[in-house]
Structure 1
Amino acid sequence: MEKDEKILIICIDRDDDLGRKTGIETPIIGREVNLKSAMELGLADPEESDMNCILGGIKLYDRLIAEKREVEIVTLGGSEEVGVVSDMIIAEKLDNVLERIEATRAIVVSDGADDEFILPLIQSRIPIDSVHRVVVRQSERLESAFYLIKQTLLDPRFSRSTLIPAGLVSLIYAVSIIFGHPEWATVSIFAFIGIYLLFLGVGLGDLMQNFFSAVKESFYGGKITFVTYIAALIIALVGTVQGGVGTWNYYVLHYSELPGYLLLFMVFLNESIWWYTGAGVLSWCGRMINMYLDRGAYWRHWASPLIILAFGLMMWGGSESVRLILEGSSGEGVRLLIFSIMGAVLISIIGVWISQSIKNYYSEDDQIEKDII
């Protein structure tokens, strides 16, 4: 730095502790006024770190004055609502200060990592030569760690993937204790962790997030899909309950001769798959209605319901055939599997043929309109 350049020492109080605890408004320009403000803040709250920040700025000011440099000191306060609101307030105050003080360089004084978050904001208005952190030595690492933890917890991706599972695990354990069966907690927690890992591995979590995003958009957009999506969700829940009831009834009747848990899963799938299929078709109906009203290319999706039906048929036939094989009826199970696969393929072919025929029909209409024009 050249000695004829004016240096502006900027003390940052991002959460405006000075204003909230003493009533002093920022910006505060000048050594004596800043020293008085720091003393008032220290009397109001002796443990306040922003007092150390201002005093550190004053000490730096005195040192530069002793070196015969042209320097000024200012304290900028933001808002208790730390973030966009406080940063906009600091930016506006800094612009006003720079209009009054013709500074060419700046030194930023802060009391921790939280205040230094706005360095790019300051640097976009005036070059920064140095950042001087003034923190009580015993609390420097603690404050930085607290800031890092706070920012991590505020990250939506981290909170959704970590805090929600941790909260559910704690809730499962608490419920098990309340009902007097702590041994359930271990089994339930491991089951939950297993299901959660499967969701992450298969990508079902993203599918569910996309589904709820679509429901939200359809609600705010006033579309019929909001009703059909909710109805499809209810049908899927009913199907899950139906599958659970059917599985329990089967277990009660055949618990002494069960070959394994695979059979129970096949029973559950067999009891619930048509409910899931109906939910998928209903969701498709809502989308088709919206696309028709929006004059979209709805003809491209006519194969979807038949493909959903084909999928449901294969899953039903596959689960039923596995159940028959596990019960000892291998021949009947294999025949059912073959017929269900053949039926699913036939339904899929019909769906693709219908979709292609409708596509060709609309393509011909478009060509006729172009020829007329």
Structure 2
Amino acid sequence: MHTLVLCLDRSGAVPRATGVTPPVAGWEAVQSLVVEYGVTDPEDSAVNCLLEGLRVSRDLRDDGEESTVAVVSGNADSIVGADRTIAEQVDALLERFDPDAAILVVDSADDERVVPIVESRLPVDSVDRVVVRQARDIESTYYLLKQFLADEELRGTVLVPLGVVLLVFPILLTLTNSLAVAIAAITAVIGVFLLYKGLNIDESVSGLPSQARDALYSGRVSIVTYVVAAGLALIGVFAGALGVSDMASMDGEFVAAMAFAFYSVPWLALGALAASTGRLIDESIREDEVGANYVNLPFGVVAVGLVVRGFAGYFLERASVLDPVTVGGVDLGALSLAPVVLSAEERLAVFVVAGVLVSLVGIRVGGILGDE
């Protein structure tokens, strides 16, 4: 078996530095070329490429295999011209030596692009990429960057946010005149972006327009109830903010948060109830049997709203923001009941028990409808 050990020089640096006309073939000719080129430009990695070609050819001969080492070079001004020159040189070597296979020796990513030219003419058993030991980390970094920049999704995920940060940071620094504020703002935005990508929110957001269009075209009730739910949610946020602003005696962020929850939860629960009811109606229209989970959802929303409002009221009453709940007395002539004042704990227990009862009713109703 005759193997052609071929050193590729797409840039044409070897003939420009030595004046030799490629292709150069044969052990003595390549060895002489290495010495001449190494003396001319000892820092060029192509010297190591030629030496590697000699080593591979020697090892093949030591194993009893016939081999010929050769050098082809793209001695032209354009990339197309260089590749065509290499193709002509490879054809000349094939006509001269008639090898059975080839082993290609390259020292850069640019040289590897010539590999298909050789493969179209001769079977290639191996591609030996030479990396100079002192520059191994740099070369590896280059290949990693090359693969990274070739991936469109990675470019959009990393380079675009990085570019936005580099543009916005000096603007924030100029407007706020505070390095800490600018860094905090940029960090917050990066955190939001990481959560946005990490939780796959972008995929959900990208599918919203098509889902809304399908819902409108199919005449679903849920599209109306979703709009109602959004309006009720806005009312809830406004009610919570208004309730917090009306309480001048509040101390601390925790109490303010509990006040916001206390006043906003009823509206938010109504919004969630409207959305879940619309979904339940859609399922009942589309399917003969409605799943128990769709039936349980409205009851679960009401139960959660009761429990959250109960805990929020408990904390507000303990902070002396809300007055205790008083159940009015009853006077029925001979029978009369005095007003009952519920403590904070009793108030919380009433809401929790009510939430549990509503949840149990939902489970029971869902089970009944599911059996049907």
- TM-score after normalising by structure 2: 0.52
Instruction: Give unmatched runs, 5+ long, in structure 2.
Output: 13-21, 25-43, 75-90, 326-343
Quick one: which amino acid aligns to residue 269 of structure 1? A
- CA RMSD in angstroms comes to 5.9
* Alignment partners' CA distance in 2, 1:173 and 1:335: 56
Please name the residue that 1:133 is paired with: 130
Which one-letter code corresponds to 2:211 in the other structure? S
CA distance in 1, matches of 2:142, 2:186: 31
Aligned to 2:140: 144
Find the aligned partners of 2:287 and 2:318 in 1 and give their Cα distance: 49
Aligned to 1:6: 3
Shift of 1:328: 5.6
C-alpha distance after superposition, 1:111-134 (max 9, x if no partner): 259979x9xxx9xxx785453235
What percent of counterpart residues are identical? 14
1:200-229 deviation line (CA, Å, top 9, x unaligned): 6xx996384574366366358667599579
Which stretches in structure 1 are left out of the alignment for 5+ residues? 19-30, 34-51, 77-96, 362-373
Number of the residue aligned with 2:360 = 349
Matches within 5 A, 1:104-143: 104=101, 106-107=103-104, 109-111=106-108, 129=126, 131-133=128-130, 141-143=137-139
Q: Aligned partners of 2:357 and 2:9: how far apart in 1?
A: 71
Give the letter for the 1:308 counterpart. V
- Displacement of 1:261 in angstroms is 1.0
Contact conserved, 2:23 with 2:73, CA < 8 A, in 1? Answer: no
Equivalent positions of 1:1-373 (< 5 A) are: 4-7=1-4, 9=6, 32=23, 69-70=67-68, 104=101, 106-107=103-104, 109-111=106-108, 129=126, 131-133=128-130, 141-148=137-144, 171=168, 174-175=171-172, 177-178=174-175, 180=176, 182=178, 185=181, 189=185, 192=188, 206=199, 208=201, 211-212=204-205, 215=208, 218=211, 227=223, 231=227, 234-235=230-231, 238=234, 241-242=237-238, 245-246=241-242, 249-250=245-246, 254=248, 257-285=249-277, 287-288=279-280, 291=283, 295=287, 298-300=290-292, 301-327=294-320, 331-332=324-325, 333-361=344-372
| Distance in 2, Cα, partners of 1:330 & 1:162 | 56
Kindly provide the amino acid, as one letter, of the partner of residue 129 in structure 2.
H
Give 1:148 shift. Answer: 3.5
- Once the two structures are TM-superposed, the CA of residue 304 in structure 1 deviates from its matched residue by 1.1
Deviations 1:329-349 (A, max 9, x none): 585443432222122112211
Give the 3 Å change call, closer, same or farther, for CA 127–194 of structure 1 in structure 2.
closer
Q: Does the CA contact (< 8 Å) of 2:313 and 2:322 recur in 1? A: no
Q: Is the 8 A contact 1:173 1:189 kept in 2?
A: no
Query: Could you tell me which amino acid in structure 1 is paired with residue 140 of structure 2?
Result: S
Q: Is the 8 A contact 2:303 2:354 kept in 1?
A: yes
Structure with higher Rg: it is 2
Please, what TM-score do these two structures have when normalized by structure 1? Answer: 0.52
1:320 offset after TM fit, Å?
Answer: 2.6
Give the superposition deviation at 1:61: 5.3
Kindly tell me: are residues 298 and 211 of structure 1, through their superposed partners in 2, closer, same or farther at Cα, counting changes over 3 Å?
Answer: farther
